[in-house]
Amino acid sequence: MSKIKLAEHVIETVQAICAQYNNEEGELINVLHGTQSKLGYLPAEVQELIAKELDMSVAKVYGVVTFYSFFTMTPMGKHPISICTGTACYVRGAEQVLEEFKRQLKLEVGKTTDDGKFSISCLRCVGACGLAPVVMVGEKVYGRVSPQQVRKIISEYQDGCPSHAE
């Protein structure tokens, strides 16, 4: 892993978040949430900075980051694709849909395409079981998705059509 230097404004952002929680070690998870929502992910250098600000060991920060599936150390794609793998979606064929996304994008779960456009992740029940199987692209929810629809969904984002790119 090569070391990158954090930009000044990133450092300030992270420091501000830590300060918001009084630089308390017990607030680590809130700090990580705050940071990830601002930066999109939690690279090593940011974790080191957080450890320093909260006066705790970076190993512990990393231990927490890797424990919770919500936190990620890789930047997500511009259009993060999340496939619900809750039980309701599973029994209605979410697995096949996931396979199809993986196949079409030639991408593993948790990874981002080389052009940074798409990333695939699985998430637990989004509570839209009535629409199972459910796929989310960014904030947009697609319900009752069949493997056949996968190509169409991807193509909506392929040309960067602005109406969908929110």
Binding site for another protein (CB under 8 A): 1, 3, 24-30, 32-33, 44-45, 47-48, 51, 56-64, 66-71, 85-88, 90-92, 123-132, 134, 141, 143
The nearest distance, CB 85 to another protein, in angstroms, is 7
Nearer to another protein, 6 or 117 (CB): 6
Least Cα distance to 81 among 125, 112, 115 occurs for 112
User: In the complex with another protein, which residue's Cβ is closer, 69 or 158?
Assistant: 69
In whole angstroms, the minimum distance from the beta carbon of 133 to another protein comes to 11
| Least distance in angstroms from the C-beta of 26 to another protein | 5
Closest CA to 115 of 142, 63, 89, 154: 154
Q: Say if CB 112 and CB 77 are below 8 A apart.
A: yes
Region for residue 22 given its phi and psi (left: phi exceeds 0; alpha: psi -120 to 50; beta: otherwise): left
Q: How far is the CB of 50 from another protein (least distance, A)?
A: 11
* Closest among 166, 122, 162, 128 to 144, alpha carbons compared: 128
Smaller CB distance to another protein: residue 108 or 159?
A: 108
